[in-house]
Chains A and B, each alone.
Chain A
């Protein structure tokens, strides 16, 4: 709670920087529009202006600065414009009962969320299974662990178009599958590392105690190692779900997808509508925040019920 005031201050400062950056970013475009509307602007042709400093243009044409805050296709939109666009494509459409129309961000967010959760489940399963194999078998540890690390140094985006081609050739028409594979690829590693750490967390004394109980290997795993790994699991799940969302959006960006937040960004780029890009970006940020928050709550509830004080 102590950090609410500082965070708010920093946020307000960031928004202030953003708003003041709008004027120089949009000045050339505003002057072009003003000139076409017959207003006299100081260096006259757009060619000359493109070689003049933005701040000099602002200094010479102070009356036209405000025009930059209300452009249709701004280089840098104002926070208000982004907020309005975001509301127009989510809340307003939901109020009209068209929440799942193809133009609403709720629809696109839902598509992205599905792939993210699918990939997250897949990645978490692979991560947990891999961690169990690594903890149980030294051969698996020695052969898999280095490759798990190397897999994360490979830029997945290079592979993304190939994964889409491959799944397409294998006859999988479902667009969600390649996206889920990419997000699973990004998400399994934090889970794997966290689970290995967690499964190895029990102290030697605890393991020896179970030995004196004549507990089998399976019982030790089930009753000691697994419960001990839960706090580690939740920490890595939070990293994992953020990574899964990044994976889905990366999977949507270069592939000509038609629905999903990444596709909105792509389409906004192709049609030159910056407001669509910005609102999709913020929707993605809100989604990421919501997912991490849900996991944080789950973590608190679970650990409390397990009697942990962490």
Chain B
């Protein structure tokens, strides 16, 4: 009970500190903007730890954050092997193939008004469908190893990126395109120097949505059969064999990977579309 009291006390004081910080004049400062959510996250973890230890919850139901951290350190080799199998081989290769295919398709479609008008509603519809369901079919077609996972990821990321890129290619205004014409620019020059740069905020929007989808696809596909490694495999077998702390360690890795992947794409976006209003607000 003492632990729980301490944890609740910590939560309250962290929240109070956050209120003070948010109301102070410093609230716009970058450091404070980072500190407030971090403090909130830490206080949630402390509350979790306090709850688990003081209420004596069995580690089979919910392990404490400390147990999970211990597992993370102890099982680094296994976790790394799973990471390579699921993220680097499955998700990343599928993401790259799918993104390239969608990008090229978008540029090809864009040349024909008819095709754009026909494909955009279909693409929008398909992007809203539960595509993960095709995982068992593709595992059946491409075998158990990472190729089938990459195939699922390709299909999942294709439509969001396609739809966003096609929309982005419409972004350059008629005036701007006319200006390019007066410069005697050809189709490819207009595309490279005007329309693609103008489309980039949209393209990156699609790429960012696709990062999460890629991980989801790679993990779900492993539930339908995989070699004896990989995050999805470890999670599904871990739940069965009650090594719950390893499952949570695996979840922590997945969460960190997802955030890092998203962050990486956002970082690239920032350097590519530095000119866009949404990127230059905080100065």
Q: Which residues of A contact B (CB under 8 A)?
A: 2-3, 5-11, 14, 75, 137-139, 141-147, 150, 152-159, 161-162, 165-166, 169-170, 239, 242, 245-246, 249-250, 253-254, 261-262, 265-266, 268-269, 274, 277-278, 280-281, 284-285, 288-289, 292
Contacts and interface: CB of A to CB of B under 8 A. Distances in A.
Contacts of B27: 138, 142
Contacts of B232: 157-158, 254
Contact of B15 (A139, A158, A266): A139
Interface string B206-232: 000001100110011001100000011
Given A153-B212, A154-B255, A139 B119 contact: no
Interface stretch (B134-142, B172-180, B188-196): B134-142
Given A11-B122, A284-B129, A284-B133, A142 B37 contact: yes
Given A162-B247, A165-B239, A277-B137, A143 B37 contact: yes
Contact of B239 (A138, A143, A162, A253): A162
Nearest to B125: A289
Given A161-B239, A281-B133, 8 more contacts: A6-B116, A142-B33, A147-B40, A154-B251, A154-B258, A155-B216, A249-B133, A288-B129
Given A246-B132, A281-B133, A154 B259 contact: yes
B219 A165 contact: no
Contact of A254 (B60, B115, B119, B236): B236
B114 interface: yes
B254 interface: yes
18 contacts: A3-B117, A3-B121, A6-B115, A7-B118, A139-B15, A139-B18, A139-B19, A141-B22, A142-B21, A144-B37, A146-B37, A147-B40, A154-B258, A162-B244, A246-B132, A249-B132, A253-B133, A265-B133
Interface of B is mostly: helix
B252 to A, nearest CB: 9
Contact of B254 (A158, A242, A249, A284): A158
A9 B128 CA distance: 21
B235 interface: yes
A261 B140 CA distance: 19
B23 interface: yes
Contacts of A142: 18, 21-22, 27, 32-33, 36-37
Interface residues of B, number: 63
A6 B118 CA distance: 4
B267 interface: no
B220 to A, nearest CB: 5
Nearest to B254: A158
**7 closest Cβ pairs, A-B complex:** A6-B118, A143-B40, A10-B118, A269-B136, A242-B128, A146-B37, A155-B215
Given A161-B235, A246-B130, A249-B133, A139 B61 contact: no
A158 B251 contact: yes
Given A162-B239, A249-B132, A292-B128, A154 B39 contact: no
Contacts of A144: 37, 40
B151 to A, nearest CB: 14
Contacts of A141: 22
Interface of A is mostly: helix
Nearest to B60: A169
Contact of B114 (A6, A152, A159): A6
B223 A254 contact: yes
Contact of B62 (A138, A159, A166): A166
B250 interface: yes
B261 interface: yes
B5 interface: no
B146 interface: no
Given A144-B40, A147-B41, A161-B239, A10 B220 contact: no
Identify which of B39, B118, B119 gathers the most chain A CB atoms within 10 Å of its CB.
Answer: B118
Nearest to A281: B133
B216 A250 contact: yes
B262 interface: yes
B212 A161 contact: no
Given A7-B121, A139-B18, A161-B235, A75 B141 contact: yes
